[in-house]
Chain A
Amino acid sequence: MNWVVENASFVADSALAHLQLSIPPIILSFVLSVPLGWVANRFRPVRGVLLTIAGLLYAIPSLPLLIVLPLVIGTGLRSPINVVIGLTLYGMALMVRSTADALAAVEPDVTQSATAVGFSPWGRFWRVEFPLAGPVLLAGMRVVVVSTVSLVTVGGVLGVNGLGLLFTDGLQRAIIPEIVAGIVLVVVMALVLDALLVLLGRALMPWSRATAIPSRRAARKALVTA
Chain B
Amino acid sequence: MNFFAQALSFILTPANWGATAANPIGEKLVEHLWYTLLALVIAAVIAIPVGFAIGHTGRGRSAAVLVSGGARALPTLGVITLLAVLLGIGLRAPLIAFVILAIPSILAGAYAGLESVDRKTIDAARAMGMTEWQILTQVEVPLGLPLIIGGLRSATLQIVATATLANYVGAGGLGIFIFLGLGTNDIVTTLVGAILVIALAIALEIVYSIIQRLVVPAGVRAGQRPQNDRPGATRTRSVVGSPLQEGSK
Contact = CB atoms under 8 A, between A and B. Distances in A.
B89 to A, nearest CB: 10
Interface residues of B, number: 63
A12 to B, nearest CB: 18
A111 interface: no
Nearest to A159: B182
Contact of B198 (A65, A213, A216, A226): A65
A128 interface: no
A59 B157 contact: yes
A105 B205 contact: no
A105 B161 CA distance: 32
Contacts, number: 181
Contact of B161 (A63, A143, A187): A63
Given A59-B201, A68-B198, A71-B3, A150 B72 contact: yes
Contact of A143 (B178, B235, B244): B244
B248 A194 contact: yes
A156 B197 contact: no
Contacts of B1: 71
Interface in B154-195: 154, 157, 160-162, 164-165, 168-169, 175, 178, 182, 187, 190-191, 193-195
B4 to A, nearest CB: 7
Contact of A61 (B69, B85, B198): B198
Interface of A: 55-56, 58-65, 67-68, 71, 77, 104-105, 139, 142-143, 146-147, 149-151, 153-154, 156-158, 163-164, 166-168, 170-171, 174-176, 179-180, 182-183, 186-187, 190-191, 194-195, 198, 213-226
